[in-house]
Structure 1
Amino acid sequence: MRMSRYAALTMGLFASAAIATAAAAYDGTKCKAPGNCWEPKPGFPEKVEGSKYDPKHDPKEIAKQGLSIQAMEDRNKKRVAYFKKTGKWIYEVDKIPAE
């Protein structure tokens, strides 16, 4: 008996959540182009750039991730080259013998 009440309550909660989500979903009436239906929330500017919400990221900070990825790829190339040459895998790049 408890299980069926619990199941009914759970199903009711999911159904009400689904109805609330469907009611709050964007209906696509203000699309600029097919598939481009983004619009800002009320009170936010149409374009973020130049507004008070613009994060103004530092280009040096943005470039750090690219440099980090490039360094990772270089280390992986060294590991793979040594493995192909010797058949022995060494994870620590500093421990790979110099040629």
Structure 2
Amino acid sequence: MRTLTYAAVLAAGALLAIPALAYDGTKCKAAGVCWEPKPGFPDKIAGTKYDPKHDPKELNKQADSIKAMEERNRKRIEAAKKTGKFEYDVSKIAAN
């Protein structure tokens, strides 16, 4: 009975290992460095029609929002130091 179980486990393991041995079509330059472009794509993207050419305004949106957040927090802290109470809504701080 054990022999039959071991044989079944070995057969199942062999069947699962077969796809791992298949050639995936990549040519590795070194171990773990197997990236290659799809056919028709250039090796380097910069300067080609596939280059996204990001708009600097779009790239700076997060930095601008962080600066605005820090300015609101500065106003909140200043108002809290003056009044002794923390007000979250910055528009209410400006009204005081």
Report the CA distance between 1:45 and its aligned residue: 1.9
Which position in structure 2 is the counterpart of 1:41? Answer: 37
Task: Identify the match of residue 62 of structure 1 among 56, 59, 63.
Answer: 59
Superimposed CA distance per residue, residues 21-62 of structure 1 (whole angstroms, 9 cap, x where no aligned partner): 8x799xxx424xx98x37343223221111121111111222
TM-score by length of 2: 0.55
Higher radius of gyration, 1 or 2: 2
Q: How many angstroms apart in 1 are the aligned matches of 2:70 and 2:47?
A: 36
Which position in structure 2 is the counterpart of 1:89? Answer: 86
Which position in structure 1 is the counterpart of 2:70? Answer: 73
Q: Does 1:53 align with 2:50?
A: yes
How many equivalent residue pairs?
78
Q: What is the DSSP-based 3-state SS (H/G/I as helix, E as strand, rest coil) of the residue aligned with 1:95?
A: helix
Unaligned runs of 5+ in 1: 1-15
- 1:39, 1:46 within 8 Å by CA — same for their partners in 2? no
Closer/same/farther in 2, CA of residues 38 and 93 from structure 1, 3 Å limit: farther
Unaligned runs of 5+ in 2: 1-15
- 1:75, 1:93 within 8 Å by CA — same for their partners in 2? yes
Which position in structure 2 is the counterpart of 1:6? Answer: none
RMSD: 3.8
Which position in structure 2 is the counterpart of 1:12? Answer: none
Q: What is the DSSP-based 3-state SS (H/G/I as helix, E as strand, rest coil) of the residue aligned with 1:65?
A: helix
- 2:76, 2:88 within 8 Å by CA — same for their partners in 1? yes
